[in-house]
Structure 1
Amino acid sequence: MELRHLRYFVAVAEERNFNRAARRLHISQPPLSRQIQQLEGELGVTLFERGCRPLELTDAGRFFFGHAQQFLARSVELKTMTRRIGQLERRLSVGFVASTLYGLIPQLIRRFRQQSPEVAITLLEMSTTEQLQALKEGEIDIGFGRIRSEDASIRRVILREEPLMVAVAADHPLCACSPVTLSMLHAETLLVYPQMPRPSFADQVLAIFRERRLTPQRVVEVRELQVTLGLVAAGEGVALVPECLRSLQRQDVRYLPLQGAQLVSPIIMSTRLLDESADIRLLESMIYQLYAEQGVSPTENTPAETANELINHQ
């Protein structure tokens, strides 16, 4: 079985007509029919109900169609990622969500540039979901996000479970309370960000309330982090934010600790599953060292390695 057999089969299955599929593939109809017959002969099954107009897939055809689509998509990803890793010019593209810039990421980039000044680094702000797609399309080489997800072609490492805080206006009555509980926020307007794309940190925050059967009186979706903090300062509501935002000093905003061990947001590093390039390994070893200096041990989020093996990479 060859890739062209899969491409031909998928085209016929999607067009539900041999003539239209042949035009789409820029070949004539008779050779296309022969290729499909060869594929059926190799599999030992009938893939199409040929007496139907338009064509219908058999049960075996529907099963094969779903897997063929996935296989072709993975083959395109493999081609793109291999080209990216094999490029002659040494450059590194890093995707990040905005809040990670208030943590260790800037320090990591400075260290890497000092040690590898010949590598051109590009920083791109994008959501966690966008990072995963960009990795597969070869647009970035490493990403730092916050949303948990699974993808067979992506290796994910949870660098830290970062505690959440409540951001309130400097004159808010909650400033007299320490620590604050989620139930104390019931009567407040909850500001969540970003609005798009979803899922995002906003969904993470809403899930925290939902899991505890708490419903804020009012929820307002805000475009991005800086706008959220501006609205907090104006007394328009409160927001749950990562602990790293303490480094963002504002006289009109206070960051209050939250009571609850599971009130956290992960910082997740994502790379292509089998990308073992020297620059990626160096960047990983640096981030592990930075977190080790803080007494934090990253944990693997894929079965590729155990947590112990991960720590040994430091």
Structure 2
Amino acid sequence: MAITLRQIRYFVATAEVGQISQAALHLNISQSAVTSAIKELEGTLAVQLFSRSPQGMSLTDSGRHFLNHAYTVLRSVDDALNIPHADSDTIGSLSLAASYTVQGYFLPFHLQRLSQWYPNIQIELFEQERADIEQSLVDNRFDMAVVLTANLTHPEIASETLFNSERRLWLPSHHPLSRNTNLSLADIATEPFIMLTVDEAHQSAMRYWEQSGHSPNVILRTTSVESVRSMVANGLGISILSDLVYRPWSLEGRRIETRSLDEVHPMSVGLAWRRDKAFTPAMHGIREYFRQAFVAPQLNTVRR
């Protein structure tokens, strides 16, 4: 029996979240479909990819080895399906700003693809805080920016959200709360909480905490996502962060699990520019690339 992309995608989703129920939720399919796909994959490979326990699914040595190959397969398929039709006619330069989270966890892949789509557009990249980015857009020092659009405040800035990245509860593997599928902020209010502060994450967090009528038990405020990841994985606390920055393993090789929280709003990523700015061909090109990469697939999904 041949291995299918469906099996690989379901395997990767389960490996990343460590729970079939959570993988099914992320994939918007039934748990039985995920279970069947993994059993079929294990049967074809003749190896056990996961160790099953009441706490979830843990990769075996064979599973960890196969995960690296699975990522390579999915990246190759994605690249093949998105081979760009290079537009050599669009010529120009563009100054593009990005906030820390966007630059570190989102933009590099798309910069590489933009160089393929538009080989004659020269992009000068800057990383700054949101307030500085907004003022520089207003002052025409930057042409465009890729930012967290919900944080924008300046009335002269226009924006277009490309996608929403869910914020979820991060837990160390086998944490008692991981046994619960329906969690609220009230359930985690007394837990030691690690608060990320970069890109105004703490301000966004306090908005949904205040709306819930509860407060987090903050034991550390940090600008480092990797610090949050390591502290959570080592059982020193919990946190709430976006799927954009989620990775299932800490630098020490310890696992992080996630759970959804209905009261928490997603993180919105998109483009921003000065409202009255005349778009150059390079700006049109950048906007068209991101629309094709994010907005068009969403519209096609809605139509189906």
TM-score tier (shorter): 0.5 to 0.7
Deviation, structure 1 residue 131 = 1.5
For 1:254-273, what aligned pairs fall within 5 Å after superposition?
Answer: 254-260=256-262, 263-273=265-275
Identity among equivalent positions (%) equals 13
Change (3 A) 1:194 1:155: same
Aligned to 1:18: none
Change (3 A) 1:234 1:283: same
Match for 2:193 among 182, 190, 207? 190
Whole-angstrom distance in 2 between the partners of 1:263 and 1:95: 24
Whole-angstrom distance in 1 between the partners of 2:154 and 2:262: 30
Deviation, structure 1 residue 247 = 5.1
Aligned to 1:110: 112
Whole-angstrom distance in 1 between the partners of 2:223 and 2:109: 27
| 3-state SS of 2:197 partner | coil
Deviation, structure 1 residue 280 = 1.0
Aligned to 2:223: 223
Deviation, structure 1 residue 190 = 1.8
Paired residues of 1:165 and 1:255 also in contact (CA < 8 A): no
Change (3 A) 1:209 1:122: same
Whole-angstrom distance in 2 between the partners of 1:263 and 1:294: 22
For 1:117-136, what aligned pairs fall within 5 Å after superposition?
Answer: 117-136=119-138
| 3-state SS of 2:94 partner | strand
Paired residues of 1:179 and 1:256 also in contact (CA < 8 A): no
Whole-angstrom distance in 2 between the partners of 1:270 and 1:228: 28
Change (3 A) 1:138 1:104: same
Change (3 A) 1:157 1:151: same
Whole-angstrom distance in 1 between the partners of 2:189 and 2:216: 5
Cα offsets for 1:198-218 (capped at 9, x unmatched): xx1210011111111011233
- Supply the RMSD in Å over aligned alpha carbons: 2.8
| 3-state SS of 2:166 partner | strand
Which residue identity does 2:151 align to in structure 1? Answer: R
Paired residues of 1:98 and 1:225 also in contact (CA < 8 A): no
Aligned to 1:63: none
Aligned to 2:278: 275
Aligned to 1:172: 175
Which residue identity does 2:119 align to in structure 1? Answer: P
Paired residues of 1:168 and 1:233 also in contact (CA < 8 A): yes
Change (3 A) 1:268 1:192: farther
Paired residues of 2:144 and 2:272 also in contact (CA < 8 A): yes
Change (3 A) 1:218 1:150: closer
Whole-angstrom distance in 2 between the partners of 1:279 and 1:249: 38
Bigger-Rg structure (1/2)? 1
Whole-angstrom distance in 2 between the partners of 1:211 and 1:232: 25
Deviation, structure 1 residue 171 = 4.0
TM-score (norm 1): 0.57
Aligned length: 206
Unaligned stretches of 5+ in structure 2?
Answer: 1-90
Paired residues of 1:181 and 1:260 also in contact (CA < 8 A): yes
Unaligned stretches of 5+ in structure 1?
Answer: 1-88, 298-314
Whole-angstrom distance in 2 between the partners of 1:92 and 1:258: 38
| 3-state SS of 1:231 partner | helix
TM-score (norm 2): 0.59
Check if 1:238 corresponds to 2:261.
no
For 1:18-97, what aligned pairs fall within 5 Å after superposition?
Answer: 90-97=92-99
